[in-house]
A and B are shown apart, each in its own frame.
Chain A
């Protein structure tokens, strides 16, 4: 029996959690969407097959991967293309890719595949239907893909060090879901239990894409050298995740889905609080934690980035994980409320990167206690959308003073505090960010600075002399309507708002991208600039054909004994 003391430890304050530098230090955890997907598929005995797989020596062709659950089958339809290097760009503004994909609802027949072949390779320019749940594309890691194919064709295994260093053969560069390009609306699939959690269709699509990338490399090698080609050793094969390149689009998502953001964060905070409320730690749980700590250290060793910010963060993380190890060796987990004491110590001692890594690690031994929280990591966003016009302005003001205190204290007239503006480019609707005072972009600004807007509204509320209701105020101040909605949402959902300046000169958009990607379950964040990050997904996970005979959730950190590096 787990002995918890729910009265003592409360959730961490949103004023602490929702700061950008901390959000930019979050790591995957038991509640991450990739992990919940694999746990479900394992428990439900999903089966997988590949009814179509036909490629030439350049990787041009088509494949279909089917994932069969208890009630439905989903199929990833994959198209391989011959892409010239000058066309290879991971940006939204690209027009061609190495491979393109869609997740089909059911099993496609030849007519479906023909229809999809006319559309999926064109991505945003094509159209899909409610039978499709996602549209995505991927580019090769040119050097590693070629090295792997060459090695396999020559009958050799690829170089382990290179494989581990890059970590993937292909990078997805966009995974569109939720009704984009004509695909099924989220509402159409949200009541299916296998897809009710956040981004489960997208994660399934990426999971099958990973299998495709390895199968493709092996097939291209076989086509090049049918007599000598070999397959990749299964243990080495599992070291390959699927990469992803992510740009600014994820940042607006977080701000535009406040209730969902709250529910994600609240679930993780609740998980942390549950564990911190344990009165004692069972020796076997301490053992699990210690093993995971070592595996996290190995993960950090394998985590490569050349970006100066991440280089520094990795240095701190490596150092701090050793500090944690030494601290644990002193027996600190033996006494009363061990996890709470450990976390409190960490908050005073460690870098943010290590504090957040510790939060994830603390949850690892306690699946029975926390995994059910995945069920609350979704949101009925419509319910919270309606503004309560009956609210008094006094109450609205009190909300602003409580939930936006940081913003009311910020001097928004200082240039550096509003140096940036988020906008959308006419070129393929690519989200961008620029310098408000140096580029002609302010007129196109997106509403992605809730702090500044809350402070503006506060000033007008203070100066309002009419009927003191939200309804009356907003009729004459429509410019505050979006932030009034946000404030009312935040009053009920405290983690709904990023409590930091999203237009400051010092803003690092990658902090927002990292946070969202960590909730997906991504690892090995590798910023390529302050607004662009590469990651790895499903690295070390069992492949679909291995899931039945392998643990579903023991891959998020590399194995100690099986590490080939």
Chain B
């Protein structure tokens, strides 16, 4: 089925919240799914796979233990939603020339939307690489080489500011095909943060007791 970018963002946010990400991170996860979709990457699918993989894991298992040297997670693989937000928060360090290295990371494609925001904020181009993928992100768009962009798990991700003259592809998608099975899985995650409907909630939670047949 074709979904609008707005729907993908809203579902992404709710599904991320459903698996336990805090609201601020969930908001950014929704934006990440949207950004990827707008650039014709499988945003909803990638997010769904990541959420499925990390379902049940705590934040502490997925967050970088330290950001001093190479970032690592206690569970073995870093979460790109958490690291993405942390990278975006460190746009100024990247712009100042610091290279940031992530050890084992799941679904690194999901880092790109966050780095795009970092590039925008720091007004710089950022190069991000992992085995089989080399990506340049600027405030104008993204340029990709390599065939491993959709990797499930990579051993290392590196990112740093660069100067580039590469031609960038920009967003431009009006709607995005998402497989019904993927959408249903995201919806199932979302459902966890929806309050089960009850008669009392239906009566007291919204609306009014007055008739609409007047």
Residues of A within 8 A of B (CB): 85, 88-93, 127, 129-130, 139, 141-143, 178-188, 245, 247-248, 385-390, 423-427, 429-434, 439-441, 444, 447, 470-472, 474-475, 478-485, 528-529, 531-532
Q: Quick check: B59 and A478 within 8 Å, CB to CB? A: yes
Q: Quick check: A432 and B201 within 8 Å, CB to CB? A: yes
Q: Which residues of A contact B194 (CB under 8 A)?
A: 423-426, 429, 444
Among B20-28, B43-51, B159-167, the stretch that binds chain A is: B20-28
Across the interface, name the chain B residue whose C-beta is closest to A474: B89
A377–B153 Cα distance when bound, in Å, is 44
Given contacts A425-B194, A434-B201, A529-B207, 5 further A-B contacts (CB under 8 A): A185-B5, A186-B6, A188-B174, A386-B121, A447-B23
Q: Which residues of A contact B207 (CB under 8 A)?
A: 90-91, 247, 528-529, 531-532
Q: Quick check: A426 and B191 within 8 Å, CB to CB? A: yes
Smallest CB–CB gap between A497 and chain B, Å? 16
A92–B205 Cα distance when bound, in Å, is 12
A181–B204 Cα distance when bound, in Å, is 27
Q: Which residues of B contact A183 (CB under 8 A)?
A: 4
B: number of interface residues (CB 8 Å)? 51
Q: Quick check: B24 and A485 within 8 Å, CB to CB? A: yes
15 contacts between A and B (CB under 8 A): A85-B213, A88-B212, A92-B206, A180-B6, A182-B2, A183-B4, A185-B175, A186-B6, A247-B207, A429-B194, A430-B206, A472-B67, A482-B27, A528-B207, A531-B208
A432–B205 Cα distance when bound, in Å, is 5
| 6 closest Cβ pairs, A-B complex | A481-B24, A389-B89, A179-B6, A432-B205, A179-B4, A529-B208
State whether the Cβ of B120 lies closer than 8 Å to any Cβ in chain A. Answer: yes
Q: Which residues of A contact B193 (CB under 8 A)?
A: 424, 444
Q: Which residues of A contact B6 (CB under 8 A)?
A: 178-180, 185-186
Interface readout for B173-189 with A: 1 if CB under 8 Å, 0 if not? 01100000000000000
A89–B7 Cα distance when bound, in Å, is 26
Q: Quick check: B195 and A425 within 8 Å, CB to CB? A: yes
Residues of B within 8 A of A (CB): 1-7, 21-25, 27, 31, 59, 63-64, 67, 82, 85-86, 88-92, 117-118, 120-121, 174-175, 191, 193-197, 200-202, 204-210, 212-214
Across the interface, name the chain B residue whose C-beta is closest to A256: B27
Smallest CB–CB gap between A19 and chain B, Å? 24
Smallest CB–CB gap between B184 and chain A, Å? 15
Q: Quick check: A532 and B206 within 8 Å, CB to CB? A: yes
Q: Quick check: A389 and B92 within 8 Å, CB to CB? A: yes
Smallest CB–CB gap between A171 and chain B, Å? 8
Q: Which of A85, A141, A180, A425 contacts B201 (CB 8 A)?
A: A425
Number of A-B contacts (CB under 8 A): 165
Q: Quick check: B212 and A90 within 8 Å, CB to CB? A: yes
Q: Contacts A85-B213, A142-B213 hold; do A482 and B195 have CB atoms under 8 A apart?
A: no
Across the interface, name the chain B residue whose C-beta is closest to A533: B208
Q: Which residues of A contact B195 (CB under 8 A)?
A: 423-426, 432, 440-441, 444
A143–B213 Cα distance when bound, in Å, is 8
Q: Contacts A89-B212, A426-B195 hold; do A478 and B4 have CB atoms under 8 A apart?
A: no
Q: Quick check: B175 and A431 within 8 Å, CB to CB? A: no
Across the interface, name the chain A residue whose C-beta is closest to B200: A439
A245–B206 Cα distance when bound, in Å, is 12
Q: Contacts A426-B191, A444-B195, A475-B67 hold; do A187 and B31 have CB atoms under 8 A apart?
A: no
A58–B73 Cα distance when bound, in Å, is 66
Q: Which of A130, A433, A485 contacts B206 (CB 8 A)?
A: A433
A433–B201 Cα distance when bound, in Å, is 9
Smallest CB–CB gap between B96 and chain A, Å? 10
Q: Quick check: B208 and A471 within 8 Å, CB to CB? A: no
Smallest CB–CB gap between B208 and chain A, Å? 3
Q: Quick check: B88 and A386 within 8 Å, CB to CB? A: yes
Across the interface, name the chain A residue whose C-beta is closest to B35: A382
Q: Which residues of A contact B7 (CB under 8 A)?
A: 179-182
Across the interface, name the chain B residue whose C-beta is closest to A482: B24
Across the interface, name the chain A residue whose C-beta is closest to B4: A179
Q: Quick check: A386 and B1 within 8 Å, CB to CB? A: no
Q: Which residues of B contact A472 (CB under 8 A)?
A: 67
Smallest CB–CB gap between A421 and chain B, Å? 9
Q: Contacts A91-B207, A182-B2, A425-B201 hold; do A130 and B64 have CB atoms under 8 A apart?
A: no
- Most interface-central of B3, B7, B59 (chain A CB within 10 A): B7
Q: Which residues of A contact B91 (CB under 8 A)?
A: 386, 389-390
Q: Quick check: B2 and A129 within 8 Å, CB to CB? A: yes
Across the interface, name the chain A residue whose C-beta is closest to B212: A90
A446–B188 Cα distance when bound, in Å, is 18
Q: Quick check: B206 and A431 within 8 Å, CB to CB? A: yes
Smallest CB–CB gap between A220 and chain B, Å? 18
Q: Quick check: B206 and A179 within 8 Å, CB to CB? A: no
Q: Contacts A92-B206, A182-B175, A433-B206 hold; do A427 and B197 have CB atoms under 8 A apart?
A: yes
Across the interface, name the chain A residue whose C-beta is closest to B196: A426
A57–B80 Cα distance when bound, in Å, is 60
Q: Quick check: B206 and A484 within 8 Å, CB to CB? A: no
Q: Quick check: A387 and B22 within 8 Å, CB to CB? A: no
Q: Which of B63, B67, B120, B174 contacts A185 (CB 8 A)?
A: B174
A164–B1 Cα distance when bound, in Å, is 46
Q: Quick check: B31 and A385 within 8 Å, CB to CB? A: yes
Smallest CB–CB gap between B121 and chain A, Å? 5
Q: Which residues of A contact B1 (CB under 8 A)?
A: 127, 182
Q: Which residues of B contact A441 (CB under 8 A)?
A: 195, 201
